[in-house]
Amino acid sequence: MIAGRDRPILQDKLDALGFGYFIPFFFVTVGSNLNLRPALSSNHIWILTAIFLGGVAAISAGAAWLLTRIFPRSRAFAMATLLATRLSVTVAGSLILYQAHIISQSLYLAMVMTSVLSAFIFPPLFHRLSPAPPPARHDIVLVGPNHWTRPMAAHLADDEYRVFTYENIEALVTAARDLAPRVRTAAVLGTEAWERNLRWGTIIADTLQIDHVIVDVPIEGLEEAQNSGLVPFVAAVASMQLLETMIRSPAASIIDSRLWSSTLDLTVTNPEALHVPLRDLQLPEDTLVIGITRGREHLVPRGSSTLQAGDIITIVCPGARRHDIRTLFEMPQSL
């Protein structure tokens, strides 16, 4: 309440301080002061530990039964094994109860032993019961000059996409037989003539038999690209981050036929929009910030990003909201 608009920044710093210092320090202190000798020589403590582990397993089985109503059975039981893993809260709570003389040393040690053993037993069970890993990422084809395709390919390869780059359509057609059937996305970028991009995009769609082919076109080529069954990317009014999203997610909802005709470039002059995180501006759900230009620097917009006077902000919004969005970021001309 005191931090006001700076609350997200304060919360991030408190999380870093808590998880980076205080919580590890707490567990080091608890571990160094923990005396397990009574547990090693007492059958009573081991019996309590077994009872607690059985209780944890029974509660998790009940949770698994409830989860089967929402998720497949195998996934539900896998999630239940993670629910059965006890450590931080149980150790902290049992220590507080013991120091307050509410529970005995035997109960305290049994609860700690339960937490430790559950961390050894249940996570391996999760890995055995968890569903198979997701299928490999789809392959991607990029066509165009190397100074356009290579940086994008390198960035996608860092996320384990397999990317094939070609400087022209002839090279792609020659290699088409060797391309894996997992190719789902292709993009034609940065060539000199946008009409050529359309022609190449159509050839790629027919040769590789894929539906998601992105072509770099200006505004005047937008309708023709859509009529050809291609996905237009208008580089003049968008960021490379948006292009990467389109390549990664063929079914992304951001790819809409109205996208490029509803893009605004606004110079930020309204004092009420300055130094305020984008998340606090309360933009409508159908309004998206896709780029911030500050001098020669192009910034990736995030919820925590703040604007400065003179920034050029690129926004996608429905036509009916253009006036309201412009008023939010720009001062009226009369002022």
Q: Where are the domains of the chain?
A: 15-129, 139-255, 261-329
139-255 and 261-329 in the same fold: no
Calculate what percentage of the chain has a pLDDT beyond 70. Answer: 88
Outline where DSSP puts E strands in the chain. Answer: 139-143, 163-166, 183-188, 212-216, 231-233, 263-267, 288-294, 297-299, 312-316
Question: What are 215's two structure tokens?
Answer: 């072509």
pLDDT in the model for residue 324: 85
* Interval 115-132 mean pLDDT: 84
Residue 114 and residue 332: Cα distance in Å, rounded?
66
CB-based burial label for 291 (10 Å; 0-12, 13-18, 19+): buried
Residue 175 and residue 310: Cα distance in Å, rounded?
48
Residue 195 and residue 80: Cα distance in Å, rounded?
56
Instruction: Tell me the CA end-to-end span of the chain in Å, nearest whole number.
Output: 34
Top-level class of domain 139-255: alpha beta
Tell whether the torsion through CA atoms of 176, 182, 184 and 187 is positive or negative: negative
Q: What is the pLDDT of residues 156-168, one digit of tens each?
A: 887 778 899 999 8
CATH fold for the domain made of 261-329 = Alpha-Beta Plaits (3.30.70)
Q: What is the pLDDT of residues 13-72, one digit of tens each?
A: 888 888 888 888 887 887 777 777 777 778 888 899 899 999 988 998 898 888 888 888
Q: What is the pLDDT of residues 67-121, one digit of tens each?
A: 888 888 888 888 888 888 887 788 888 888 988 999 988 888 888 888 888 988 8
43 or 257, greater pLDDT: 43
Helix, strand or coil, per DSSP, at residue 316? strand
Instruction: Name the average pLDDT for the chain.
Output: 81
Question: 136-145, 178-187, 224-233: which has the minimum mean pLDDT?
Answer: 178-187
Residue 106 and residue 97: Cα distance in Å, rounded?
12
144 or 34, greater pLDDT: 144
Residue 44 and residue 51 in contact, taking contact as beta carbons nearer than 8 Å: no
Element housing 191 (H / E): none
